[in-house]
A = this chain, B = another copy of it.
């Protein structure tokens, strides 16, 4: 048992090291998040009124896209250099490694996004009552995004140019998170209670936490042996 824990820790540390070694990797989902969000005022309309209506959904869509984009690299380099083969030939449970990698990924994307979201809120004139709802919903929702994304990443890892394919696979699964997440923010803005939405987001997280690592593990096995 302690050796599995050890593996979890080592994988976590390894993935963080990998991310930190490229400092850019570290801040990129964040900056992408910011850029996407700032494209809208430019492309659509800079009017504060319009933007504040757009804000709850837009922040969530931006978070979703930022996660999605960074998702692709989750297993890619491990596949290419043969680390995945080694992983599948380990007597240790695969889902554990997946979970650990997702956790590291989430820290650097989802959690980071959650922390800068208020800045986006300000830029998009989100009423300040909406902020707690925004952060809470992102905090509960982004791990689910990472977990679901991991399944997509695992399924497409063996394909030579699966770049955009993963979006296709994963986006439909992201829709419930998007709906409840943006509704939670909207509720917060209009002063309605948001416990219900948060509970739903939490439930989805629990479900994803239980199933996604196993599904991703199985998908990895299929991708590599194919």
Contact = CB atoms under 8 A, between A and B. Distances in A.
A168 B164 CA distance: 18
Given A54-B44, A70-B164, A161-B22, A64 B35 contact: no
Nearest to A18: B161
Contact of A168 (B28, B73, B182): B28
A122 interface: no
A163 B70 contact: yes
Contact of A31 (B44, B164, B182): B164
A11 interface: no
B43 A163 contact: no
Contacts of A42: 175, 178-179
A167 interface: yes
- For this complex, into which size category does the number of interface residues on chain A fall? 35 or more
A94 to B, nearest CB: 22
A32 B164 CA distance: 7
Contacts of A54: 44, 54
A29 interface: yes
Contact of A60 (B18, B43, B160): B43
Contact of A25 (B22, B61, B73, B164): B164
Nearest to A39: B61
Contacts of A61: 36, 39-40, 43-44
A64 B35 CA distance: 12
A168 B31 contact: yes
Given A22-B160, A39-B178, A54-B54, A167 B28 contact: yes
A77 interface: yes
Interface string A157-184: 0011111110110011001001100100
Contacts of A163: 25, 28, 69-70, 72-73
B57 A167 contact: no
Given A35-B171, A160-B22, A164-B24, A53 B45 contact: yes
Nearest to A175: B42
